[in-house]
Amino acid sequence: MAADGPSLINWSLLAFSSPGWGGVLLAGFVNSIQIAVGGYSLGLLLGVGGAFGKLYGGPVTRDLLEIYTTLVRAVPELVLILLLYYAGTDGVNQLLALVGYGPIDISGLAAGIFVIGVVQGAYSTEVLRGAIKAVPAGQIEAARAYGMAPVKMLRRVTLPAMLPYAIPGLANLWLIATKDTALLAVVGFSELTLVTRQAAGTTKHYMLFFLAAGVLYLMLTLVSNAIIALIERRARRGFPEVA
């Protein structure tokens, strides 16, 4: 049976061949990837520190981290983005004013990475905390019995042993980070969703451009899934195969 209209691929090709807008969409897509990578990396660093702080820190450290993870996971991400983006920028400039410096113009890219990173950090903390607790206690005790320093034990035993348990959760957080970049459109950052909306509003081809944006997000997800599968296969070497 003949198709009633252009296929999804044909719609997407038409969008990218539209004068001027194909390059704009690709530039927005690159911005989205930059924010996702930067925010995810920052969140991972916060997550590692948060997980070890919750497990091995003092009472004050554990309480502060509990407040951080609870607040971030309780408040909708759109509200957090608006709060951190505007209030965070204003707070930095007020602190600079107190020490005698003038206000600075924080780039949208840096602010976006910070916002996504803070949100990701709370979720990464819980994912990594659970993965660390899944490591058999005997492995940690054996490392201590051999007299390993804490940093060496972390690098040689804890992190490699927890990785197979952490990858599924961290992979999911990466995919969430790629989608959360779309929320930055509300603060005017030129990521893929915002430039798609601008292109659609200017040309009135809403279906065309939003389908093209959907194809780009789908491509990113498929490539990410392939890379994650390779990492997980390598991390699970020696583990029994799951049917």
DSSP per-residue codes, 26-95: HHHHHHHHHHHHHHHHHHHHHHHHHHHHHHHS-HHHHHHHHHHHHHHHHS-HHHHHHIIIIIHHHHHHHH
**pLDDT, tens digit (0-9, with 9 covering 90-100), for 169-219:** 999 999 999 988 888 887 777 788 888 888 888 878 888 888 888 889 999
CA distance linking residue 85 with residue 115, whole number of Å: 7
- Please check whether residue 38 is in contact with residue 116, taking contact to mean a CB–CB distance below 8 angstroms: yes
- Please check whether residue 121 is in contact with residue 46, taking contact to mean a CB–CB distance below 8 angstroms: yes
Q: Which domains does the chain have, with CATH numbers?
A: 8-235 (1.10.3720.10)
Tokens of residue 24, six digits:
């704009």
Q: Which amino acid is at 61?
A: T
Provide the residue-wise pLDDT of the chain in tens; the chain has 243 residues: 444 444 444 544 445 544 467 778 888 888 899 999 999 999 999 999 999 899 888 899 999 999 999 999 888 888 888 887 777 777 877 887 888 787 777 777 787 888 899 999 999 999 999 988 888 877 778 878 878 877 778 778 888 888 888 999 999 999 999 988 888 887 777 788 888 888 888 878 888 888 888 889 999 999 999 999 998 888 777 666 654
- Across the chain, which distance is largest between two alpha carbons, in Å? 72
**Whether the model pTM is above 0.85:** no
DSSP string, 106-153: --HHHHHHHHHHHHHHHHHHHHHHHHHHHS-HHHHHHHHHTT--HHHH
Q: For residue 183, give every residue at least 6 positions away whose Cβ sits within 8 Å of its Cβ, in sequence order, or none.
A: 77, 78, 81
Q: Measured in whole angstroms, how far is the alpha carbon of residue 49 from the centre of its chain?
A: 16
